[in-house]
A and B are shown apart, each in its own frame.
Chain A
Amino acid sequence: MTAHVERDGSSADPAASSRTEYLSFRIGESEYSVEIMSVREIRGWTRTTSLPHAPNFVRGVINLRGTVLPVIDLALRLGLPASDPEDRNVIIVVDVGSRVMGLRVDAVSDILSFSRDQLQPPPEMTQKSRFVRALTVLDDRMVRLLDLEAVLPSTEEIAA
Chain B
Amino acid sequence: MMIRAQPVKSLFQRMSRIVREASAAVNKTVRLTTEGDGTEIDKTAIERLADPLTHMIRNAVDHGLESTERRLATGKPKTGEIRLSAAHRSGRVIIEVSDDGGGINREKVQSIAAAKGLIPEGATLSDSEIDQLLFLPGFSTATEVSALSGRGVGMDVVKTQITSLGGRVTIDSVAGVGTTFAISLPLTLAVLDGMVVTVAGETLVIPLNAIVETLSLSPSDLRLVGPGQQVLCVREQFVPVLDLGVELGYRVGSQVREGTIALLISPEEGVLVALLVDTIEDQRQVVIKGLQESYGRVPGVAAATILGDGQIALILDPNDLVQNVSGEDRFVMQKRAS
Contacts and interface: CB of A to CB of B under 8 A. Distances in A.
Contacts of A99: 294
Given A52-B248, A52-B249, A61 B300 contact: no
A69 B294 CA distance: 7
Nearest to B310: A63
Interface stretch (A43-51, A108-116, A128-136): A43-51
A82 to B, nearest CB: 17
B249 A63 contact: no
B311 interface: yes
Contact of B290 (A51, A68, A69): A68
Interface of B is mostly: loop
A68 B296 contact: no
Given A49-B311, A68-B290, A63 B299 contact: no
A47 B297 contact: no
A50 B312 CA distance: 9
A100 B301 CA distance: 20
Given A61-B291, A61-B304, A68-B290, A49 B299 contact: no
Contact of A51 (B203, B247, B310, B314): B314
B197 interface: no
B250 interface: yes
Interface in B288-321: 289-291, 294-301, 304, 306, 310-314
Contacts of B298: 51-54
B294 A50 contact: no
Nearest to A52: B248
A158 B300 contact: no
A49 B202 contact: yes
A126 interface: no
Nearest to A66: B306
B275 to A, nearest CB: 13
Nearest to B301: A52
A53 B333 contact: yes
B304 A68 contact: yes
Interface in A59-73: 60-63, 66-70
28 contacts: A47-B311, A49-B203, A49-B312, A49-B313, A50-B250, A51-B295, A52-B299, A52-B300, A52-B301, A53-B249, A53-B298, A53-B299, A53-B333, A54-B298, A60-B312, A61-B291, A61-B295, A62-B312, A63-B306, A63-B310, A63-B311, A63-B312, A68-B290, A68-B291, A68-B294, A68-B295, A68-B312, A155-B296
Interface of B: 202-203, 247-250, 289-291, 294-301, 304, 306, 310-314, 333
Which 9 pairs from chain A and chain B are nearest by CB?
Answer: A52-B248, A49-B312, A158-B296, A70-B295, A155-B296, A68-B304, A63-B306, A68-B289, A61-B312
